[in-house]
Chains A and B, each alone.
Chain A
Amino acid sequence: MTPTTQPAPSTGAFDEAALVARAQAGDQGAFTTLVDHYQRKIYRIGKNITQNNEDAEDVLQETFLKAYEHLGGFQGNSKFYTWIVRIAVNEALMKLRKRKGDRFVSLDEPIETGEEEVKREIAVWDDNPEQRYSREEMQRILDEAVDDLKPDFRTVFVLRDIEELSTEETAEGLGISVPAVKSRLLRARLALREKLTRQFKRKGEDVFANL
C-alpha cells in the first residue's frame, strides 16, 4: 500500500520556524515538509554513528516518530534541526550500546589528553585528490576513515564538520561541554588528516623527510 503521508511539492523558500509553528498547530503537511527536508541528514547521522544500514533506518524512523509525538513540548529555544539531531544521536548511541556493549559509547568518559607523542605523517597532498578517484571510491575512502574513529570523536566530527552545527549546538545536541566538543573535534580532525594523508600524499616525494 502506498502511504498517504508524502511531502507536497515544494512551493517556495524553506521557513523552519513557520513550518514548526504550523505543525504544532496540527498541520500534518507542515510536519511532512520538515521530515522531507531533513531526512537525508538524519539518515546520514544514523549511518555515520552506527555504521549499519538497519540501525540507520531505525534511527531515521524513531527520530521523526518521536519528534512528531513530542512536538508540543518543543519550546523553540533551539532550532528544530538541533532538536531532532539530539534525538537522532541518542537513538544512534542506544543502537551502538545494544550492539557493542557499553565499552565504546560513554560520551562523558574523560578523553586522553594526548600527551603521548604520535608519529605524524607529514606529507603534502596531490593537488586534486578528488580527481584521482571516482565518486564511489572517494566516498568509500572518506567513510572508512570516519568509521575508524572512536564513536566519541566520530560523533563530534559528524555534527561539527559534516552537518556544520556550531560548537554550542553540538555540545547541546550531545549533552557534553563546549571544551569537550573542542578537544574531541581536534583529535578527530587530526586523526582523519593522518588517515587521508596515507591515501592522498603526493607519490615519490617526501619533501620533509630530512627535517
Chain B
Amino acid sequence: MLTCKQFLQELNDYLDPNVDADMKRHLESHVTQCPNCFVIVDTTMKTLQVYKGVEPQTIPEDVKMRLWKALDRKMADRKQS
C-alpha cells in the first residue's frame, strides 16, 4: 500500500476527474484504508469548492470608468495614425 506521503504527492491526480481509471483505483485503495488521508481529500475538495463558488467581485465604477477612458484615448490615437 502507498504511504501517506506517496499518496499526498499524487493528490492532484486523485482529484483530477480526467485521471485514468487504474491510477484512480491505485490511489483509492489508500484513501479507503487511511482515515487521515480520507479527511485530507475531503477537506481539500471542500477548499476547492468554496473558492470556485466565489463570484469575481464587481469592479468599482470609478476604476471601470478610467479603463474605458484610457481605451478611448488609445482607440482615438489608432484612428488618427
Contact = CB atoms under 8 A, between A and B. Distances in A.
A68 B47 contact: no
A39 B50 contact: no
Interface stretch (A11-19, A83-91, A96-104, A181-189): A181-189
A77 interface: no
Interface in A1-27: 1-6
Contacts of A122: 36, 39-40
Given A3-B72, A161-B48, A189 B59 contact: no
A182 to B, nearest CB: 6
A64 B56 contact: no
Contact of A40 (B48, B52, B58): B58
A153 to B, nearest CB: 13
Contacts of A3: 65, 68-69, 71-72
Main secondary structure of the interface of B (DSSP, over half): helix
Contact of A190 (B8, B63, B68, B71): B8
Interface string A176-201: 00000010011001101100110010
Contacts of B58: 40
Given A40-B58, A57-B66, A124 B42 contact: yes
Contacts of B39: 122-124, 208
A193 B59 contact: no
A138 interface: yes
Contacts, number: 118
Interface string B20-56: 0000000000000001100110111011101111101
Contacts of A40: 56-59
Given A122-B36, A193-B43, A186 B9 contact: yes
B52 A39 contact: no
A2 B68 CA distance: 9
A141 to B, nearest CB: 9
Contacts of B68: 3, 5-6, 32
Contacts of A164: 52
Interface of A: 1-6, 28, 31-32, 35, 39-41, 43-44, 47, 57, 60-61, 64-65, 68-69, 120, 122-125, 129-130, 138-139, 142, 146, 161-162, 164, 182, 185-186, 189-190, 192-193, 196-197, 200, 208, 211
